[in-house]
């Protein structure tokens, strides 16, 4: 029988050797790696059955490495443990760090088997809940696709649904009621199909007959959906979503609590979504102005309880850029399916998205659309992402100021370093978590607009996050590039540290009350958090004499030692 292959990834050579012996004795073919990049190289060239990986490596976190493994070696089962530490005096027992599992050889093998391919995958049962969720998500995507190219209504149904969900959950309605409200929110204006767009979107005096036509969308919508045997009672919500609390609404003139709760919620959140979105004939209101409008119409148009609850949750749960246009994103990716999905999700997150599948068209669109940010695929036929980026940053380019995030299927540290070094804001490997991408884009745009407002002429240099480019990579890049720069790093507590380079040599380092080598060793422990490389920034301090390689080696040795000391004997 062919031996199973396993890769052990740990900073600690002793642990690697110990695990190698243990696993080899048990019949595995064992490979070893000391860093994440080393592990990925091995994974790309060898078919691995398992990878056993420490949570904190010098260049990447174990969780991130597991994600990257999925790209280069999807069949490998990656097991991340908080850390491996050898317990002194024992030859066959390991402590798995803070997860506090003490495993002997047999238990370790059980762990591997339990997560391995030998166990047939268990299919998730098809339950009613699963089918209902699937139906809601399908409707969400289909309705989103109908709206996605509309600059004014793109994402409207999705955000209305999310607002309605937040109110219904806060009111602690039953799951069945909540599901009804979600589906009705997505489909509530389906009766507008067939009404001329200019009647709905152009601001002009409408005739009595046009007004009646608009009013008919509630009944028309209910009739259209009567043809479907929904598992939810969405008809009353769709039919009555334009009733008013004082009884002066349509189509039935229902009053107060005669109006179904779903319709009372939808009336409020639909009005808020409309007020805070641009229309062809007006700019959006600010969040505060829209809330004021809701309060003004409490008891007449709106249910007081719903308004109170909604105005409470809106502060906590939703992001607002403020009045005016949505942030505009240009996306370029030759994977058209992925591009469509990403565009839909970002539109639902409140962005205006212009998308294209090639770099040449992207350059043209950028000049016309002037986006707030570009999301660029690296590998594309014709004009690839990096060449496109260099052109954008070229001398006298009108596109030089547009922030760029690279999004790529290709995990390549050299490419990443080059992109960040050229000034890219971020570099993400697909598949990315879309909420995370949206949050990162917002942060970059916010920071960019702050920098423009307060531009004093000083360059902030390269900005990034240690999760994407670790300190060893930064040191290597600046050292080999013979750069003079100051790298500012922040930990999760907001404490700053600085590493100064002069012509590629580390000359000074500071972290809190520490300076010199000790400060460097402390900073080397940072696994995530923002960094800024300010080129040309120097200092008079000279606190480091060791060369960069010695510093790195000593720093990593101390990190290993620190972990071992944390384990009781
Ligand atoms: Fe409506």
The SS3 assignment for 374 reads: strand
Determine the distance separating the centroid of ligand 1 and the alpha carbon of 170, expressed in angstroms: 23
* 361 alpha carbon – ligand 1 mean position (Å): 37
Ligand 1 centroid distance, CA of 292 (Å): 21
Structural domain spans, the chain? 5-114, 134-317, 328-457, 464-565
Ligand 1 geometric centre to CA of 185 (Å): 10
> Locate tokens 């016309």: which residue?
368
C-alpha 502 to ligand 1 mean position (Å): 64
CA of 422 to the centre of ligand 1 (A): 49
CA separation for the pair 53, 63 (Å, rounded): 9
Nearest to 353 by CA among 259, 464, 434, 265: 434
Q: Quote the pLDDT of residue 484.
A: 81
- Distance from Cα 205 to the centre of ligand 1, integer Å: 19
Per-residue pLDDT, 461: 65
What is the reported pLDDT for 248?
95
C-alpha distance across the termini of the chain, in Å: 39
Ligand 1 centre to CA of 172 (Å) is: 25
Residue 410, pLDDT score: 65
Copy the structure tokens of residue 315: 């502060």
CA distance 535 to 483: 8
Kindly list the protein residues that place their beta carbon closer than 5 angstroms to ligand 1, a single-atom ion: 189
| 223 CA to centre of ligand 1 in angstroms | 14
CA of 299 to the centre of ligand 1 (A): 20
Residue 296 CA, ligand 1 centroid: distance in Å: 20
User: Would you state the pLDDT for residue 444?
Assistant: 82
Residue 191's contacts (CB-CB under 8 Å, 6 or more residues apart) are: 216, 217, 218, 219, 220, 221, 222, 223, 224, 238
Cα separation, 319 vs 287, whole angstroms: 10
Distance from residue 319's CA to the centre of ligand 1 (Å): 24
CA 190 to centroid of ligand 1, rounded, Å: 8
Give the model's pLDDT for residue 373: 92
Separation of 33 CA from ligand 1 center, angstroms? 60
Q: DSSP secondary structure string, 87-148?
A: PTT-SSEEEEGGGTEEEEHHHHHHHHHHTSTTSPPPPPP--HHHHHHHHHHHHHHHHHHHHT
Tell me the CA–centroid distance for residue 210 and ligand 1, in Å. Answer: 15
In angstroms, the Cα distances linking 77 to 67, 74, 159, 313, 374 are 11, 8, 38, 41, 35
| CA 189 to centroid of ligand 1, rounded, Å | 5
Classify burial at 396, counting beta carbons within 10 Å of its beta carbon; exposed 0-12, middle 13-18, buried 19 or more.
exposed
The three state secondary structure string of 132-183 is HHHHHHHHHHHHHHHHCCCCCCCCHHHHHHHHHHHHHHHCCCCHHHHHHHHH
- Provide the pairing of β-strand 505-511 with 514-515: antiparallel
Distance 175 CA to ligand 1 centre (A): 24
- Considering only CA atoms, which of 81, 107, 178, 168 is closest in space to residue 136? 178
Distance CA 432, CA 211 (A): 45
Q: Rounded to the nearest whole angstrom, what is the distance from the C-alpha of residue 529 to the centroid of ligand 1?
A: 45
Q: Which residues is 84 bridged to in the sheet?
A: none
Please give the pLDDT value at position 200.
67
- Is the preceding peptide bond at 251 cis, omega within 30 degrees of 0? yes
> How far does the centroid of ligand 1 lie from the alpha carbon of residue 122, in Å?
44
Strand arrangement, sheet containing 404-408 = 352-356, 328-332, 373-377, 404-408, 426-429
Q: Which residues, including other chains, have CB under 8 Å from residue 446's CB and lie 6 or more apart?
A: none
Question: Over the range 437-463, which residues count as b (16 or more CB within 10 Å of their CB) and which as e?
Answer: bbebbbebbeebeebeeeeeeeeebbb
Distance (Å) from CA 242 to ligand 1 centroid: 6
Take residue 329 and report the two structure tokens written for it: 């994103």
Cα(240) to centroid(ligand 1), Å: 9
Measured between alpha carbons, how far is 339 from 44 in angstroms, rounded to an integer?
A: 26
CA–CA separation, 83 and 86 (whole Å): 10
Q: What is the pLDDT of residue 101?
A: 40
- 558 CA from centroid of ligand 1 (Å): 64
Output Rg (C-alpha) for the chain, integer angstroms.
29
What's CA 326's distance to the chain center, in Å?
Answer: 18
Contact 48, 76 (CB under 8 A): yes
Neighbours of 388 (CB within 10 A): 25
Buried b (16+ CB within 10 A) or exposed e, 511-540: beebbbbebbbbbbebbebebbbbeebeee
Spacing, Cα 218 to ligand 1 middle (Å)? 7
Distance in Å, CA 137 to ligand 1 centroid: 21
How far, in Å, CA of 499 to CA of 567, rounded?
31
Instruction: Tell me how far apart the alpha carbons of residues 358 and 92 are, in angstroms, rounded to a whole number.
Output: 56
Q: Give me ligand 1 centre to Cα 352, in Å.
A: 23
Which CATH class, in words, describes the domain spanning 5-114? alpha beta
3-state secondary structure of 471: helix
The CATH number of domain 328-457 is 3.40.50.2300: yes
User: Same fold for the domain at 5-114 and the one at 328-457?
Assistant: yes
Distance 288 CA to ligand 1 centre (A): 23
For the chain, which residues score pLDDT lower than 70? Answer: 1, 82-124, 197-204, 319-325, 395, 410-411, 449-461, 563-569
Distance (Å) from CA 211 to ligand 1 centroid = 13
Nearest alpha carbon to residue 371 among 394, 347, 401, 338:
401
* Cβ(56)–Cβ(83) below 8 Å: yes
> How far, in Å, is the centroid of ligand 1 from the Cα of 266?
9
Of 512, 536, 523, residue with least CA distance to 462:
536
Instruction: Report the length, in residues, of the chain.
Output: 569
Measured in Å, residue 176 CA sits from the centre of ligand 1 at 23
Residue 220 Cα to ligand 1 middle (Å)? 11
271 Cα to the center of ligand 1, angstroms: 9
Topology, domain 134-317:
Hypothetical protein af1432 (1.10.3210)
């Amino acid at each position: 029988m062919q031996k199973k292959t396993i890769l052990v990834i740990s900073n600690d050579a002793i642990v690697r050797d110990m695990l190698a012996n243990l696993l080899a004795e048990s019949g595995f073919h064992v490979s070893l790696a000391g860093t994440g990049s080393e592990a990925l190289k091995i994974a790309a060239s060898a078919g691995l059955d398992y990878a056993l990986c420490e949570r904190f490596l010098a260049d990447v976190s174990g969780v991130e490495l597991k994600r990257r493994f999925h790209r280069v070696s999807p069949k490998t089962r990656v097991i991340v443990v908080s850390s491996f530490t050898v317990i002194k005096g024992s030859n066959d027992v390991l402590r798995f760090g803070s997860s506090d599992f003490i495993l002997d050889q047999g238990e370790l093998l059980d762990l591997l088997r339990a997560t391995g391919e030998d166990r047939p995958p268990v299919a998730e049962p098809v339950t009613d809940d699963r089918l209902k969720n699937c139906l809601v998500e399908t409707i969400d995507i289909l309705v989103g696709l109908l709206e996605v190219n509309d600059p004014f209504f793109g994402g409207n149904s999705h955000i209305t649904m999310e607002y309605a969900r937040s109110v219904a959950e806060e009111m602690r309605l039953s799951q069945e009621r909540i599901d009804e409200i979600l589906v009705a929110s997505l489909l509530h204006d389906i009766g507008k199909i067939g009404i001329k767009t200019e009647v709905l979107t152009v601001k002009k005096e409408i005739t009595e007959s046009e007004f009646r036509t608009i009013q008919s969308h509630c009944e028309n919508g209910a009739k259209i959906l009567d043809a479907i045997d929904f598992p939810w009672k969405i008809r009353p919500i769709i039919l009555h979503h334009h009733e008013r609390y004082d009884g002066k609404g349509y189509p039935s003139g229902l009053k107060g609590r005669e109006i179904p709760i779903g319709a009372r919620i939808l009336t409020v959140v639909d009005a808020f979504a409309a007020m805070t979105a641009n229309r062809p004939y007006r700019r959006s209101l600010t969040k505060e102005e829209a809330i004021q409008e809701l309060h003004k119409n409490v008891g007449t148009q709106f249910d007081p309880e719903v308004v109170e609850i909604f105005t409470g949750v809106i502060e906590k749960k939703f992001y607002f850029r403020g009045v005016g246009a949505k942030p505009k994103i240009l996306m370029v990716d030759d994977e058209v399916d992925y591009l469509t999905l990403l565009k839909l999700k970002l539109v639902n997150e409140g962005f205006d998205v212009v998308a294209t599948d090639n770099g040449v068209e992207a350059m043209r669109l950028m000049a016309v659309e002037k986006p707030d940010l570009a999301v660029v695929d690296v590998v594309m036929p014709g004009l690839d992402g990096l060449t496109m980026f260099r052109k954008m940053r070229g001398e006298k380019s009108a596109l030089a100021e547009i922030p760029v995030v690279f999004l790529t299927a290709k995990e390549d540290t050299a490419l990443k370093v080059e992109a960040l070094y050229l000034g890219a804001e971020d570099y993400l490997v697909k598949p990315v978590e879309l909420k995370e991408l949206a949050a990162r884009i917002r942060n970059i745009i916010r920071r960019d607009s702050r920098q423009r407002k307060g531009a004093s002429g000083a360059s902030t240099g390269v900005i990034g996050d240690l999760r994407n480019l670790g300190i060893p990579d930064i040191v290597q890049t600046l050292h080999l590039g013979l750069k003079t720069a100051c790298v500012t790093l922040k930990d999760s507590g907001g404490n700053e540290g600085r590493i100064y380079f002069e012509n590629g040599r580390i000359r000074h380092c500071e972290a809190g009350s520490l300076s010199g080598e000790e400060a460097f060793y402390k900073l080397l422990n940072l696994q995530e958090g923002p960094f800024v490389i300010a080129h040309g920034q120097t200092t008079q301090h000279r606190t480091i004499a060791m060369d960069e390689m010695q510093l790195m080696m000593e720093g990593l040795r101390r990190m290993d030692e620190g972990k071992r000391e944390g384990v009781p004997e």
